[in-house]
Chains A and B, each alone.
Chain A
Amino acid sequence: DTQMTQSPSSLSASVGDGVTITCQASQDISKYLNWYQQKPGKAPKLVIYDASHLETGVPSRFSGSGSGTDFTFTISDLQPEDIATYYCQQYDNFPPTFGGGTKVEIK
């Protein structure tokens, strides 16, 4: 299976800060990577697909980039409603696999 390694596992930042999460794949996955936001007690919600495409309705302060094995997810201007755990997920190789998650908290 393609292993997805996220870092950091958790972070704390102030409202208005920029936040960056990285996701590294154990093998080349081209740009076939998605990012999800999960709030406590809720299902994951698609935020970014195909590495850099913003899902409809998602605020533009969320962005993604990368290809191959290294990807980044950025929240510019962190808002209180962005408190959640974020997961990357690859779909280039079978089976689809998820990263371990990054918990984002407000300082």
Chain B
Amino acid sequence: QVQLQESGPGLVKPSQTLSLTCSVSGGSISSGRYYWSWVRQTAGKGLEWIGRIYPSGDTSYNPSLKSRATISGDTSKNQFSLKLSSATVADTAVYYCAREGGIAVGYKYFDHWGRGTLVTVSS
């Protein structure tokens, strides 16, 4: 059974870079059958997809983040990471990493999620 676990600082100062890592067990991030995403949740904006990394290492991002997000993968550790630059109070959220499945048969759904980690942006 695949498991995902987020880790990283719970407090980030405004203008700094928010950095999180997702450790994956029970499945490989380089498997061609899945994509790996970051999703965040705020009380104000609800659930927001941030971006994903493909098995090839390519990435795609939500344009709403205005190029502040960078997702990278480390296949040797079976981890993928999120960096969000120029953090503001509006980036305060619970951040989830998630697996996107169904790819091989034309679907896309988030079928496995980490527990989530609260990141607060505050001075």
Contact = CB atoms under 8 A, between A and B. Distances in A.
Interface of A: 1, 32, 34, 36, 42-46, 49-50, 55, 87, 89, 91, 94-101
Contacts of A36: 110
B114 A43 contact: yes
Contact of B108 (A91, A100, A101): A91
Contacts of A97: 49
Contact of B46 (A42, A95, A96, A101): A101
Given A49-B102, A95-B63, A43 B113 contact: yes
Contacts of A43: 96, 98, 113-116
Given A49-B109, A55-B111, A100 B116 contact: no
Nearest to A31: B107
5 contacts: A50-B109, A55-B111, A87-B46, A95-B49, A95-B62
Contact of A46 (B62, B96, B111): B111
